[in-house]
Amino acid sequence: MVMLERLRADHAAAVLAFERENREWFARSIPDRGDAWFAEFEGRHRALLAEQEAGLLHLHVLVEDDGRVIGRVNLVDITEETAELGYRLAEAATGRGVATAAVAEVCRRAAGAYGLSALTAVTTLDNPASRAVLARNDFTPVGDIDLDGRPGTRYHRPLAPGPTSR
């Protein structure tokens, strides 16, 4: 069973393993993180947790029963009412509806626990799986963009108000 968990300090090793194992897979459809990202991972992980604690972002991991991370779903660039959604899924976990379900759950949390009223997202045009996940979760294309030299689309989704238990 896959669980969506808020990112914690003890996820660090599993997240790094996930990113390393899937680096080539991710680079096919999104810009590569670069070698420095991996070399500086430990400090970056601590800094992200501090930002999350301050309410500046909301980070989540998809964890298998054995503790292996198979995905990430994050809300970044938070303003008072909106945030940008980003997600990535291990190659071995694709095609099972995991990303669609995880994005749906993060949308529920964004409206409820995080008190947001809308989300945005971006993806490249050559990433049909990501575009399908967004469409299944009621994101609407709102404009063309350039993502590191690759054509893409910006999406928007209003959120229905939910319970506010921060």
CA 23 from chain centre, in angstroms, equals 15
CA 121 from chain centre, in angstroms, equals 9
**Helix 98-111 / helix 128-136 crossing angle, nearest 10 deg:** 50
pLDDT at 25: 86
pLDDT at 164: 45
pLDDT at 147: 87
**Helix 12-21 / helix 41-53 crossing angle, nearest 10 deg:** 120
pLDDT in tens, 5-24: 999 999 999 999 999 999 98
The pTM of the full predicted model, rounded to 2 decimals, is: 0.90
Q: In the predicted model, is pLDDT for residue 166 greater than 50?
A: no
Q: In the predicted model, is pLDDT for residue 31 greater than 80?
A: no
Domain boundaries defined on the chain = 3-158
Q: Tell me which architecture the domain covering 3-158 has in CATH.
A: 3-Layer(aba) Sandwich (3.40)
pLDDT in tens, 34-79: 788 888 999 999 999 999 999 999 999 999 999 999 999 999 999 9
Q: In the predicted model, is pLDDT for residue 29 greater than 80?
A: no
